Amino acid sequence: MAENLLIDGLPPTEADLRYQALVNYGAYTSFRIEDGGVRGLDLHLARLDASATELFGAPVGEDRLRDLIRTAVADRRHAWLRVSLFAPDILPRSPSAEAAPKVQTSISPPPPPLASSVRAQVRTYVRTDAHIKHTAIFPLIRARRLARQAGFDDVLFADADGLISEGATWNVGFLTGDTVVWPEAPMLDGVAQTLIRAGLPAVGLRSVIRPVRLTDLATFDGAFLCNSATPACPITAVGDHVFAANRDRIDRLQAAWTSNPVQDI
């Protein structure tokens, strides 16, 4: 276990684990190791460093992150890695400390995709500080749990005015012909979403970013979700609205993602 969970490249101490069990303040990213590298690694590292500055008052540094990722990955060619940031000096009653955060790495076998298709329940919710991939995920787990209890596979968030943002742990795209429409709303701009967007021209698709509301669903002929574990998965229903699953376009979206090269760590 110790070799799979490291903090600053060393086995975790009881104090660090106790802090993380009791204080839910931090940021993270996770990604697939493919043949010893990572698609979009530069994007993951840049997001972590920006989150460190915003949450802890000090950057963590790309060179330090790369060194710790190399230590965690060791000689593995294929794996799943989560990189988390936390600062034990930041406490609920004394949250003002500023310091470069500690870096926790957790490595495991690559997970399967979320699903082969998804029926999403709509819930009214906007994540706090939605642009940060932070560790406050109670509302996400709760929403997904309630969706499954209601007979759905997952959950899609919209605000009180019906403005669609994102899923519990994924971004959403809507399809109209050969155009991908990405919602414009408070949300996490995911790495998988960014990679797909960059690769769309190579597969004959284009994209736009604009507000999408629940009342717009009938104007689209498809929808999909994406994250680092699931580059593209068809959404076959949002609430009562049903979408056809167009396998050709899903394959093209996955090809857009894979058109981005694996980057060396």
Q: Rounded to 10 degrees, what is the CA torsion of 59, 79, 249, 130?
A: -30
Token duo for residue 36: 């010893």
105-151 pLDDT, tens digit per residue, is 999 999 999 999 999 999 999 999 999 999 999 999 999 999 999 99
Numbers of helices and strands, H then E, in the chain: 6, 15
Amino acid in the structure at residue 12: P
Non-local (6+) Cβ contacts of 245 within 8 A are: 117, 222, 234, 236
The whole model's pTM is what? 0.95
Which helix (H) or strand (E) segment holds residue 165: the answer is strand 164-167
| C-beta of residue 44 within 8 angstroms of C-beta of residue 29 | yes
204-260 pLDDT, tens digit per residue, is 999 999 999 999 999 999 999 999 999 999 999 999 999 987 899 999 999 999 999
- Of 204, 194, 235, whose CA–CA distance to 217 is shortest? 235
Instruction: Go through the domains of the chain in sequence order and give each one's CATH number.
Output: 5-108 (3.30.470.10), 118-260 (3.20.10.10)
